[in-house]
Amino acid sequence: MRTTAPSNRSRLRRKYERGRYDKESLYEILDSCLLAHVGYVLDGAPVVTPTLYWREGDHIYWHGSSASRMLRKSAGCEVCLTVSELDGLVLARSGMHHSVNYRSAMLFGTARKVTRREDKIERMRIFVEQMFPGRWEQLREINEQEVKATTILGMPIDEAAAKVRTGGPVDDEEDYGHPVWAGVIPFVPKTPGEPVPDDRQDPGTALPDHVRNYRVAREVS
């Protein structure tokens, strides 16, 4: 499926022209960010928790300590997961038309626990490998206690929308002659800094490619 069908709740009403439902646009946003916010209802009230996530094909996953309230209480429940990146501040000629440039995605679904031991390990392997190719093999092998102590939730990406704003201010026609600076303050995309070796590491330990390349890959993207 190349598009996510806009359901009633995933169809944009406000600024609907900024909406995207094709999977290419959606996945581009999901793959360029690391941080999501997972919203769910706990005891009748909304809770929103920031967390890392990763995408595998048409599924999205997030994980954490098995003791996490978010992971315990949202398993098997309806969730709304959002991802967003702020790309710039848009200064218009009136306060009303100031805006921001952004890319965002909002996904709805039922969060399902990954239960099989082998599936959990595979999800964790892919999570690590997507960020740092080649690292999983170099790590100390995961042990049973660590597998048990980790909960992974996931859901298919089949009810989602993306929303994107780009470009300059859109002012009222009669305001374009107003003598105030208008335009965009772009935000430089997040770039990783110089890697900092751990204090307790053997100083002779070589910088692996997946650390060096991570910097390069992120800088050029």
Ligand X SMILES: Cc1cc2nc3c(=O)[nH]c(=O)nc-3n(C[C@H](O)[C@H](O)[C@H](O)COP(=O)(O)OP(=O)(O)OC[C@H]3O[C@@H](n4cnc5c(N)ncnc54)[C@H](O)[C@@H]3O)c2cc1C
Should residue 140 be labelled a site residue for ligand X when binding is judged by CB under 6 A?
Answer: no
Q: Helix or strand or coil: residue 14?
A: coil
Distance between CA atoms of 142 and 135, rounded to whole angstroms? Answer: 13
Interface with ligand X in residues 70-89 (CB under 6 A): 84, 86
Distance between CA atoms of 77 and 13, rounded to whole angstroms? Answer: 25
Q: With respect to ligand X, which residue has the nearer C-beta, 9 or 190?
A: 9
3-state secondary structure labels for all residues of 81-118: EEEEEEEEEEECCCHHHCEEEEEEEEEEEECEECCCHH
Q: With respect to ligand X, which residue has the nearer C-beta, 14 or 140?
A: 14
Indicate which single residue of 2, 13, 140, 200 sits in contact with ligand X (rule: CB under 6 A). 13
Interface with ligand X in residues 175-214 (CB under 6 A): none
Give least dist CB 2 to ligand X, A.
18
Q: With respect to ligand X, which residue has the nearer C-beta, 88 or 154?
A: 88
Should residue 10 be labelled a site residue for ligand X when binding is judged by CB under 6 A?
Answer: yes
Tracing tokens 């929308």 back to the chain, one arrives at: 161
Should residue 100 be labelled a site residue for ligand X when binding is judged by CB under 6 A?
Answer: yes
Tracing tokens 């209802």 back to the chain, one arrives at: 41
Distance between CA atoms of 104 and 187, rounded to whole angstroms? Answer: 15
Give least dist CB 190 to ligand X, A.
14
Name the region of 122 (left: φ>0; alpha: ψ -120 to 50; beta: rest).
alpha
Interface with ligand X in residues 102-131 (CB under 6 A): 102, 104-106
Interface with ligand X in residues 145-174 (CB under 6 A): 161-163
Q: Are 48 and 38 in contact (CB under 8 A)?
A: yes
Give least dist CB 59 to ligand X, A.
18
Over the window 17 to 56, marking each residue x when it contacts ligand X by CB under 6 A and - when it does not, the resulting string is ----------------------------------------
DSSP, residue by residue, 111-167: -EE--SHHHHHHHHHHHHHHHSTT-GGGSPPP-HHHHHTEEEEEEES-SEEEEEE-S
Give least dist CB 20 to ligand X, A.
9
Q: With respect to ligand X, which residue has the nearer C-beta, 15 or 212?
A: 15
**Residues in touch with ligand X (CB under 6 A):** 9-14, 84, 86, 100, 102, 104-106, 161-163
